[in-house]
Structure 1
């Protein structure tokens, strides 16, 4: 199973990079969109192979516990939602389909299906047994639940990724001279 892709939700697949190079496999599964997660050192190797056949969304993050994934979750979700809403089917991959791409799919499942971290993690793992995001990614997934929940509940307003980034910018500290 490690070298295969699995359907996690209807139309949402998860797996290793090797599947993204198999045009016949992608077409058999009616894939229309691909989320490619890689770090800068993998850019020349893990590249889009069939841009004439699929719409790609590339995310540059390393498989390091210190890498920040949360800022990328809203854009990935938007890309996947757009594809699925328009009848597409999405394949999400990193190099091995073990750490980075499963973390993104768990975040997507959490937010879309409204599962907590543990439920979403178990749900995805029951479909892709070999997944194992690094510990830093697991911590971030746990931290993400109240972030998207709060964002969704604020006045029912749906924020765009740009609005989320602007909201996250900290205000400057007050001057010490203030009385």
Structure 2
């Protein structure tokens, strides 16, 4: 079984990893200082441990991955960013996950870096690949980061 890896994208702000599936994963998240969890997969894909909602503020938005045969719509990615922003604002550090932390959670973290931290999509991808080696979004997923609604200037970001 693969090790449950938590990678900090931005210390005390944003972490990424695979779906927590066991109580020991809940403990590892707690020990890492995570305060909230954003899941991008369905409960059928990765059933969360029973106690996760007792320890963290949890939200879920199901985004499509390569198996679904479609890309996320820009509005779906924007909704995921809005949930991430709310969790971060209200609770602090957020752990973002999908099943394996290869496509969907890296995509949301990339969009966060582009929108909130004004990185170019290329710089965000280079950075995320360094801090989270499992990053492997599809080309069509990366193209979403060029949509005007993810550019900071279009959203009125500071």
Counting matched residue pairs gives 149
Q: Which residue is equivalent to 1:132?
A: 136
Deviations 1:101-160 (A, max 9, x none): 10111011100001111011111111001210122212222x33x33336325xx8xxxx
SS of the residue 2:27 aligns to: helix
* Structure with greater Cα Rg: 1
Change (3 A) 1:19 1:47: closer
TM-score by length of 2: 0.80
Once superposed, what is the RMSD of the aligned Cα atoms? 2.4
Equivalent residue, structure 1, for 2:59: 57
Query: For 2:80, which of 72, 76, 79 is the aligned residue?
Result: 76
Counterpart in 1 of 2:16? 14
Aligned-partner SS, 2:95: strand
* Kept after mapping to 2: 8 A contact 1:19/1:25: no
> Contact 1:30–1:89 at 8 Å: present in 2 too?
yes
Q: Secondary structure at the residue paired with 1:56?
A: strand
| Unpaired stretches in structure 1, ≥5 consecutive residues | 157-179
Q: Using a 3 Å threshold, how does the CA distance of structure 1 residues 36 and 29 change in structure 2: closer, same or farther?
A: same
| Superposition TM-score, scaled by structure 1 size | 0.72
How big is the shift at 1:99?
Answer: 0.8
Report 1:143-154 matches (<5 A).
143-144=146-147, 146-149=148-151, 151-153=154-156
Residue equivalent to 2:46: 46
CA contact (8 A) 2:17 2:97 kept: yes
Q: 99, 117, 121: which is aligned to 2:121?
A: 117
**Matches of 1:3 and 1:27, distance apart in 2:** 13
Extract structure 1 runs of 4+ deviating beyond 4 A: none
CA deviations 1:43-85 (Å, max 9, x no partner) are 2352343111111121112212622242123332233223333
